[in-house]
Structure 1
């Protein structure tokens, strides 16, 4: 297969070659799906360990390229912003050494947006950006913003107004961009996806046998970070309520999927579980592969996503692809992915009472869980596969490159006319 063209996906702080982290997975899965369609995909990130490979070849048309920008170690965002100029220079150096010219770049998250905007100033290319999360939402209600927050807001606003196309992962994120960031700029909605070959590849019976979960236990699963906006506290409070706490057959599995585990947050949630008297029914998981994650999803009776802000809904997609009903906060990508009462249940974010009632509802109605399981898989297969996401991006990429061809043609004609007049 002849590659359509070589394109660059830029993800400064999230490494597509890693198996954990929502943005890592998004960029990797998008890159591989695009390569299956014939694109040559270079995915740029930064090196975080001295002994890391500089290039990871995922398949003949898709690779991760790790650039040196700052120390070869994990660097927090407040420090990482200072490494962006070096990242840009290293990317340009890689292009020069390998005789590469990208007609289109697709940046991810605000740090990468800065790199994309600077690259566009010096090269003829199309710039597409996916936000993943928004500073404008994160900082709502804060009276005093530090310099990092101000920089992020300015970069997100400039990117929205100057990129050739901005991608929101759900309608609510598009509305946030318009209401909180700028009324200028082009926006398209393209959701995230899930790996339907991985999630759903093992039955619940076999998964529970692997994890030694008894058939009569009602297994509640949480997958996500342990920082406060993920809503783990709401889930713990819900399960500690009498209508659920009194049930002897409940089991809680808390999976921390952060790339870099925050020990303080981990200890905080562990103490919360202990204080609620749930330590004897709770299992903590923090080191796992993607294949192991698929087993945990399949072994669950319900997956709870109690986020305060969630623009992607990707955890819900993984669960739904596994045939596991989801109970989630009624916001963002979650209410875009889940059809309430059909393939899952939605509840008001941070409302532990209504979350407890939703869990109890599914606990006592196995036939409803079975029906939701079937409908959840159907919805994912219809709307949220990575190949489907890549197909939408493919159409956008081709349209943008076509526009670039016209722009180059217009410039060429303009120069020719000027030469004739001269």
Structure 2
């Protein structure tokens, strides 16, 4: 990975633009832009709300580059000392744009800086021209819609989270709620294509957002070279866990919507000998970061319930060591109130660890009940305790779950497979765009008997 400072960015006349040098070596590569306003693809996962979206954009970008695309991933710069450009591979880079103060800003207060983000992006668009833009999250979608007003671009969007669902469970909507809902409807109806990561998300878009617009289902993926089956004894030895412990694992951010409290309380109701069960919580920042309040709250509940001695707060873990935690666990629990897809589920399954998860969103797609794990009602402490007990108490069945879980990911959820589907979608959209530009309207006075084809008919995705 190559980091370029502010003086080495694309506008510098002193240092060569990596985009230009890469294109000079591979003139046939088509440039495309992935926009992830708050989800920095180059960020450390788990830090200041960095999670599934960051992983998705980074992995998709790198996989698309391997398929022959020139990929620029745009995000907002949140720290002054962060490199403006992070070169992940010769044909894939993250570009951090200055939009507002160079500091972390919570998502609910970020929209006011999106016009500045558009202006910063337009400088790259004018110089390189990205004929296709894949936006991620609703604010990035707004950016894409603004760019589409002045440039002929094919616009693709992945939501990652739906306000129409999120606000159903929030007692007090934030001030930005109505704006978000309007943009989510607008992007569905006006984008060239929406990528839903599961059939359940597609259904939610149709029932809650709009009946208009084109949607294709392309799932998220995982790095099956990194997340794979290995001996459990080896993983536990490296992590310092005892061979005979029953390990219940959570991986993710500290956020009330992630349902960690439900898991903690469920652990007090397990039938297993309490001394044999260890709850391992991986992820999140320290108490000084944006998610510190929720972490402190969860730690308080753990102490209140007398679970401190058998609960381990690991903190952020790099992707190189994360497979060890999945492998060491007997069960991975995802108690989220809602997940459009849920990358943790397929990471765990790729390592052969069965999952107990809330029966919500894309988790109902990635997990096959009774074959790769169990699904239970969200926020149902009793149901989670019962499901965890089933897996911990039946070693033979758990072994079968491990095998089937790994097989399902290998067959359906590799990043290379996801990128291949996206690449096919992009090429179809670009081909239709070119066909549309080449269409010359013919007037009846110019050629008797000519058949006039409406230009808009060529913009529809078959």
Which position in structure 2 is the counterpart of 1:18? Answer: 43
Matches of 1:375 and 1:2, distance apart in 2: 44
Matches of 1:206 and 1:300, distance apart in 2: 12
Which position in structure 1 is the counterpart of 2:81? Answer: 51
Matches of 1:40 and 1:225, distance apart in 2: 31
Tell me how many residue pairs correspond in the alignment: 415
Deviation string for 1:265-300 (max 9, x for gaps)?
Answer: 011000111111111100002222111212211111
Which position in structure 2 is the counterpart of 1:129? Answer: 157
Which position in structure 2 is the counterpart of 1:285? Answer: 314
Query: Secondary structure of the residue that 1:50 maps to in structure 2?
Result: coil
Matched, 1:6 2:31: yes
Which position in structure 2 is the counterpart of 1:296? Answer: 325
Cα offset, 1:19, TM superposition = 3.3
Matches of 1:380 and 1:355, distance apart in 2: 23
Which position in structure 2 is the counterpart of 1:176? Answer: 204
List aligned pairs for 1:377-396, cutoff 5 A. Answer: 377-396=406-425
Q: Check the 8 A contact 1:19/1:290 in 2, yes or no.
A: no
Match of 2:128 among 100, 103, 106: 100
Match of 2:239 among 182, 187, 211: 211
Which position in structure 2 is the counterpart of 1:83? Answer: 113
Deviation string for 1:203-231 (max 9, x for gaps)?
Answer: 32221111110100011100122222211
Q: Check the 8 A contact 2:285/2:292 in 1, yes or no.
A: no
Which position in structure 1 is the counterpart of 2:278? Answer: 251
Query: Secondary structure of the residue that 1:251 maps to in structure 2?
Result: strand
Q: Check the 8 A contact 1:104/1:126 in 2, yes or no.
A: yes
Matched, 1:227 2:255: yes
Taking structure 1 as the reference length, what is the TM-score of the superposition?
0.94
Deviation string for 1:232-259 (max 9, x for gaps)?
Answer: 1111111101524x43211110113469
Q: CA RMSD in A?
A: 1.9
Deviation string for 1:90-145 (max 9, x for gaps)?
Answer: 1111233xx30111000000110010000111101100000000000011166764
Taking structure 2 as the reference length, what is the TM-score of the superposition?
0.86
Q: Check the 8 A contact 2:263/2:384 in 1, yes or no.
A: yes
User: CA 1:50 to 1:241, structure 2 compared with 1: closer, same or farther past 3 Å?
Assistant: same
Q: Which is worse superposed, 110-119 or 324-333?
A: 324-333
Which position in structure 1 is the counterpart of 2:14? Answer: none
Matches of 1:170 and 1:403, distance apart in 2: 25
Runs of 5+ unmatched residues, structure 2: 1-25, 46-50, 448-462
Matches of 2:113 and 2:187, distance apart in 1: 19
Matches of 1:3 and 1:281, distance apart in 2: 57
Query: Secondary structure of the residue that 2:280 maps to in structure 1?
Result: strand
Q: Check the 8 A contact 1:298/1:322 in 2, yes or no.
A: yes
Cα offset, 1:78, TM superposition = 2.9
Deviation string for 1:307-351 (max 9, x for gaps)?
Answer: 110111210000001111111111211110111111111112111
Matched, 1:319 2:348: yes
User: CA 1:3 to 1:13, structure 2 compared with 1: closer, same or farther past 3 Å?
Assistant: farther
Matches of 1:383 and 1:258, distance apart in 2: 31
Runs of 5+ unmatched residues, structure 1: none
Query: Secondary structure of the residue that 2:243 maps to in structure 1?
Result: coil
Matches of 2:285 and 2:208, distance apart in 1: 27
Cα offset, 1:147, TM superposition = 3.0
> Which protein has the bigger helix share?
1
Deviation string for 1:145-190 (max 9, x for gaps)?
Answer: 4431111111111111100101111122111111111111111111
User: CA 1:141 to 1:293, structure 2 compared with 1: closer, same or farther past 3 Å?
Assistant: closer
Deviation string for 1:62-93 (max 9, x for gaps)?
Answer: 10011111111101223311111111111111
Which position in structure 2 is the counterpart of 1:27? Answer: 57
Matches of 2:36 and 2:226, distance apart in 1: 24
User: CA 1:106 to 1:332, structure 2 compared with 1: closer, same or farther past 3 Å?
Assistant: same
